[in-house]
Structure 1
């Protein structure tokens, strides 16, 4: 019954019938409570998203598979110390981890979540060393900022690791047939570069490694063992001179099962062609086979060749080159010669039969050897051929992963332009996939190239409309582009696809944020965090919503939570810097902006805000350098140009500041703060008319209430000398 239940549980799991598999497995454990059956029940619970039930079933189990599944359950339940103990156990000092590469990967996640970055990097690197195709570990390395460790992967060491995995799986496939030859050894794939380009199935043996070519059969056989001749064919001379004697009998085949006499040492096989045999006997294959002649004894091989030459003279047949002899004296000699000839012929035939039988015995043994060694040879050659083909596939896959990995590593380093170019060098069939296009869209988004980013994300949506991962960034892009209709449609689609996805609720939160319903947006971001408390970007988006309604404490809490989850989440560092800047804590603002800029050095916005903080700290020279760098990184961004004009205005460089603002007016003609600053500059230049014109234009653009009060106060003091009205909108 146990075997039947196990088979039906496995079949139900294979057919994704989880309730049925769980029910049957519970019956299995009730009747046969072995560790293997308990592990199977825990697997049913875990697949049914009931990790808490699997956790209790697996407690106390000792097998590596059970410990790994127990660690997975503990990780899902947030029991990180228990998960780490299950993976390491008593072998932690020796560096042994349950389940190899997967175990190291899970340990890396545990260390990352418990804020042990260096240990996490070490485990992720070890996981990739054991299994170079563990892409998730590579992503984690890049996200942790371990760019050097990530850049060293997918090289020659990866080929060696893959060869070990292939050899292990080959050995797990089952025992090989027992042969007399040495057991097949899996070739070192790192030494098979030539085999990848050579003919499939042929591998050049390495200089220091085992030969992969099956040795050829030794052909240096004795002269009496010659290749059998088919009837009607000429026997090969095998490098010997043609025979001059005509006393050889035609070759016969011994009967099946006849005893094979040993070969006569030094016996030289004589060959005659068909024409000579016809001259001797007049008929070639008319005589009975030698195996049908009865003999009581073997005759010694010491007869004269002249006696053997009379073996064809019985019955008064004509001898070649002679006449018929009928005399009595000659008759006696003829009879005696006939007897001797019979003996000679019989002895010659015996010798011939011995040689032929021995030759055929050798051939039979050779066939038996080939039959015995054939499966091993075929198996070895087949394994070598498969290994060569597999090696070529592994190299092609590693080349593709190397391209993808380099592009993703550049993106993780926020070298976005290089990353987009690296993704663009991928083969078309891989570039035109949703994952790659989302990464390309993210790269353009970080470069503030919103049009290209939208094109990439839209393409990804057309290719894979059911993909939700990445929609948080896409919805933020639409928020920046102020596309309310597109964002609303995207939110409806995402919620319709999966209401249990945190990405869908992030899209909905951005949609309501764009409509200035910030409290509703906060609720949606909190719902996303309920579904995935470790979603760092959802914390950041919620923090920005709190920032919009000036709820500083909640915003600080949200941004700090994002940084605890991901220390390289520069958006959260930027959010903290913005809070401190608005609270006029400029030293703290500078610190957080610098941390964000160290993560994303290519951001024009971060350069600008750091320059603004330095300007507030009266470090105008450094501020101008940072603002110039911000303009150089993104000439389309109007904010650093405006802030540069403000710094120049504070230094009484009015003409330079006015020139910057006039150029900026072509880019942002509807910005109220721009006209307000120009009005203050014209007041400094004693041009009240132009100052009033610019103040009125700023009011017409409908700024916020606080800005309206500042503009009206400046208009009232237009005829009054300046006394601290240098405040900016």
Structure 2
């Protein structure tokens, strides 16, 4: 008998998925080639291309998926082909593939379908739109890229990279309208199997909860669009529509086996669930009207306290039958016969009785059960009392007689049920009658033994009615809504911080990140964002603290380490910077951030040639790394290679149009070359991107001062001083401008602050000497000029000239610093 080719292909696909899920990509690649050789179908090409992509080989993935992906015939092939095109800089081809396959993904949603036992193998609208947006962005089509990222966030607000890219592109976003749990989005998570069933079997997802039962989605505002655009009506929630693209992955073989096992009754001798998993012993209490059955677990009766409906027992019992499986029907049968005179213990206990128990009749059998006293009228005791009091033994059948024991349902239940507490144990002189559930009743006090027991019992309600009913289990949809709302609130805070940081509203970003829970604030990503915010505020000491904590928490992280190295460079911490650079390079020599840090270390050591080699290596590793181009331009500027510096800065702007550091570098080069108009235009462009940067305001003020526009320059210096009140360079330039305009009193106040901030700075004492000279205080002027000369011997010609000209001062000369 020849093997079935379809079955062979199915087994090979299961093997490939198995190896992919277990990170054995080479094994998956091997079997992917076998599958494609056996079955030349689009699905086979998709799996083989996926294996190549997982192995980091986009070229092979591109070739394998091109046949079905470029024309949009197969969604999986189109997605892998587009991802390969993004990696290979073939953006137009990737855009074409996704656009041609748009009909197969535009209305798909697989949110909530990725669990430990289920997969959605093909992308949905959010994933495809996000990838298409990345391709359009790389293709330099900003308008279409923004539209695609917005579509991705509409379909799935948890598409975090779409949000961060929009922020990086400078798009203004309404964060509260993006991160919200809409009804259709929350219903996708309702399709997910329950936590208990998920660990045992890949059960079929339950349908969505009725709208009137939802707790959070009712209050969600759905009428406002996050991007002020019309919501696409083409998007439909396809949960449960039977689409094969989002069905359970067929490689989930163990889930199918367990699901098949759960269709058969469990072994009575084993109380454990499938695969040896013990049934949870402490199930939440359930009201009698809400029977519970968990998929994949033996439906044994739970402990007595949770199941208070067990107090209702029919009278007819057959103790020889094996206990059956519990089901809803048995519980329903008990509820259908509440009037059974011998089945409801609570009802029998509430009926009046002429029975009076004396202290002498309180006896027990050998097994410990109290002896039921016989009534004075000679009648037989109630059948329910005999069933509940007498020992359960094989001799009880003959003793009780066949007339009193008939049906088997109650006895089966009692054998299957775990042992419950006995009837009320008497004290030293007390007695009790009847059976109650453990924990539901208190023992009868001695003083109450003289009264009729039935009257005493009648004074209290039965346990099943009087015991406090435990709170029913919260519906699964309510739990999902509450968890989703918590996640959205967390994302709102993080998104607000990131959006503010991308717009360089650093203090607002810090406030947003500070409002995060402590556990989330002390994570690498958040600490990196906080460190960047302090760096943009020119608060380098706090930035260093944040990055140092980041290094402790994540010593292998390389992202944002180029900023940390710049912070150390600005703080002139040569030893720390060298240690960081060598640590990063030793850990990952192919990291561009590591080579930027090493280049900064060489730059701080004044070895600009070595620094340029390091920055060149970083660019080779990451050709679109804008920060590496900027650092390279700074080194060319230090070497007075202004043409090369201009080229590096322009490459940085080409890689990132919002990289204000490159505009700043262009302004510095043109200012050095005397092209003040061009320098001013580039400074203004940088300030437009980062309007609260103190250094940029100072640069604009300096250029305006050189253009003899002192009044306007002073306004920029004042703004810079407000943004960075403890920055010595900012106040130094402001003091020089005040001296130039003759505002000596204001200049003196600034210089007094500067003397406290930077007492070892030569320029501060030089300006203090000039101020004293203008005030005709020769003694103070000589003292400050002498201190400046000792701190900066290289400026001795100018300082000595100022000292010699104390007698015939011709006015202020601010020729020392530029």
1:565 to 651, 655, 663: 655
TM-score normalised by L of structure 1: 0.69
Distance of aligned partners of 1:627 and 1:63 in 2 relative to their CA distance in 1, 3 Å threshold: same
Q: What displacement does 1:285 show?
A: 9.4
Q: d(CA) in 1 for partners of 2:169 and 2:153?
A: 15
Aligned match of 1:55: 62
Match of 2:551 in 1: 461
Show the 5 A alignment for 1:399-410: 399-410=489-500
Give 1:170-209 correspondences, 5 Å limit: 184-188=207-211, 191-193=214-216
Give, in angstroms, the shift of residue 81 of structure 1: 0.9
1:469 and 1:503 in contact (8 A); partners too:
yes
The answer on whether the counterparts of 1:670 and 1:701 sit within 8 Å (CA) in structure 2 is yes
Mapping 1:605-616, distance limit 5 Å: 605-616=695-706
Preserved contact between residue 438 and residue 470 of structure 1 (Cα < 8 Å):
yes
- Residue 592 (structure 1) aligns with: 682
Which structure has the bigger radius of gyration?
Answer: 1
Judging changes above 3 Å, is the alpha-carbon distance between structure 1 residues 710 and 71 closer, same or farther for their aligned structure 2 residues? farther
CA offset at residue 290 of structure 1? 13
Aligned to 1:159: 182
| SS in structure 2 at match of 1:666 | helix
* 534-543 vs 621-630, which moves further: 534-543
- CA distance 1:232–1:118, shift in 2 (3 Å): closer
What is the aligned counterpart of 1:513 among 588, 603, 608? 603
Map of 1:88 onto structure 2:
99
Q: Does 1:229 align with 2:336?
A: no
Q: Shift of residue 159 of structure 1?
A: 3.1
Task: Tell me if the contact between 2:762 and 2:789 (Cα under 8 Å) persists in the aligned partners.
Answer: yes
Q: Shift in Å at residue 29 of structure 1?
A: 1.9
Q: CA deviation at 1:530?
A: 1.4
User: 1:435-477, CA deviations, whole angstroms, 9 ceiling, x for partnerless residues?
Assistant: 1111112222222222222222111211121111121111111
Give the direction of change, closer, same or farther, for the CA distance of 1:518–1:160 in structure 2 (3 Å limit): farther
Tell me how many residue pairs correspond in the alignment.
567
- 1:241 maps to none
Q: 1:53 to 1:76 in 2, by over 3 A?
A: same
Q: Measured at CA, do residues 92 and 631 of structure 1 come closer, stay the same or move farther in structure 2, by a change above 3 Å? A: farther
Measured in 2, the distance between the counterparts of 1:522 and 1:289 equals 98
Aligned to 1:727: 815
* CA pair 185-453 structure 1, distance change in 2 beyond 3 A: closer
Are 1:40 and 2:128 counterparts? no
Alignment of 1:632-643 (within 5 A): 632-643=722-733
Instruction: Work out whether 1:530 is the aligned partner of 2:607.
Output: no
State yes or no: 1:420 paired with 2:507. no
3-state SS of the aligned residue for 1:147? Answer: coil
Looking at structure 2, the residues matched to 646 and 232 of structure 1 have their Cα atoms a distance apart, in angstroms, of 101
User: C-alpha displacement at 1:118, in angstroms?
Assistant: 3.2
Match of 2:171 in 1: 146
Q: Measure, in 1, the Cα distance between the counterparts of 2:604 and 2:285.
A: 61
- Alpha-carbon spacing, 1:407–1:655, altered in 2? closer, same or farther (3 Å): closer
Q: Is 1:110 paired with 2:135?
A: yes
| Structure 2 match to 1:11 | 18
Distance in 2 between residues matched to 1:80 and 1:672, nearest whole Å:
55
**For the residues of structure 2 that align with 1:454 and 1:721, how far apart are their CA atoms?**
46
Q: How far did 1:148 drift?
A: 2.8
Does the residue aligned with 2:760 lie in a helix, a strand or coil?
A: coil
Q: State the partner residue of 2:434.
A: none
- What is the distance in 2 between the residues matched to 1:18 and 1:653? 73
Q: Distance in 2 between matches of 1:638 and 1:444?
A: 17
- Do the aligned partners of 2:29 and 2:48 also contact (CA within 8 Å) in 1? yes
Work out the CA distance in 2 between the residues paired with 1:533 and 1:391.
Answer: 44
CA contact (8 A) 1:234 1:274 kept: no
Q: Provide structure 1 residue ranges, at least 5 long, that are not aligned to the other structure.
A: 178-182, 203-216, 218-224, 237-272, 276-283, 292-380
Instruction: State the distance in 2 between where 1:520 and 1:693 align.
Output: 42
Shift of 1:387: 2.1
Q: 1:392 corresponds to which residue?
A: 482
Q: SS in structure 1 opposite 2:657?
A: coil
Residue 18 of structure 1 and its aligned partner are, at CA, apart by 2.5
Note the aligned Cα RMSD (angstroms).
4.1
Write out per-residue CA displacement over residues 686-718 of structure 1, whole angstroms, 9 at most, x where no aligned residue.
Answer: 6777666655544433466xx566557767877
* Per-residue deviation, residues 636-659 of structure 1 (Å, max 9, x unmatched): 112232222322333344565455
Residue 392 of structure 1 and its aligned partner are, at CA, apart by 1.6
Listed one character per residue, the Cα deviations across residues 345-369 of structure 1 (whole Å, up to 9, x for unaligned) are xxxxxxxxxxxxxxxxxxxxxxxxx
Q: CA deviation at 1:229?
A: 3.1
Q: Distance in 2 between matches of 1:201 and 1:558?
A: 70
Distance 1:92 1:532 in 2: 35
CA contact (8 A) 2:785 2:803 kept: yes
Indicate conservation of the 8 Å contact 2:598/2:614, yes or no: yes
**Counterpart in the other structure of 2:458:** none
Paired residues of 1:105 and 1:124 also in contact (CA < 8 A): yes
Distance 1:168 1:557, change over 3 A: farther
C-alpha separation in 2, matches of 1:396 and 1:520 = 50
The match for 1:624 is 714
* Structure 2: distance between partners of 1:460 and 1:27: 46
Contact 2:65 2:81 in 1 (8 A): yes
Measured in 1, the distance between the counterparts of 2:639 and 2:786 equals 28
Counterpart position of 1:333: none
Q: Is the 8 A contact 1:160 1:189 kept in 2?
A: no
Secondary structure at 2:182 match in 1 = helix
Distance 1:235 1:549, change over 3 A: closer
Matches within 5 A, 1:536-555: 536-555=626-645
State the alpha-carbon separation in 2 of the partners of residues 226 and 642 from structure 1: 94
1:611 and 1:472 map into 2 onto residues whose CA distance is 29
Q: In structure 2, how many angstroms separate the alpha carbons of the residues matched to 1:94 and 1:458?
A: 44
Residue pairs, 1:669-708, within 5 angstroms: 669-680=759-770, 694-695=784-785, 697-702=787-792
Listed one character per residue, the Cα deviations across residues 382-428 of structure 1 (whole Å, up to 9, x for unaligned) are: 9x932222222111111111121112222222222222222122111
Quickly say closer, same or farther: Cα 1:392–1:658, change in 2 above 3 A: closer
TM-score by length of 2: 0.62
> Structure 1 residues 63 and 170, CA, compared in 2 at 3 Å: closer, same or farther?
farther
Structure 2 Cα separation of the partners of residues 191 and 233 of structure 1:
37
Query: CA, structure 1 residues 687+2, in 2 after alignment: closer, same or farther (shift >3 Å)?
Result: same
Cα offset for 1:188? 4.4
Whole-Å separation in 1 of the counterparts to 2:345 and 2:733: 104
The Cα offsets for residues 299-329 of structure 1, whole Å up to 9 and x where unpaired, read as xxxxxxxxxxxxxxxxxxxxxxxxxxxxxxx
CA contact (8 A) 1:142 1:150 kept: no
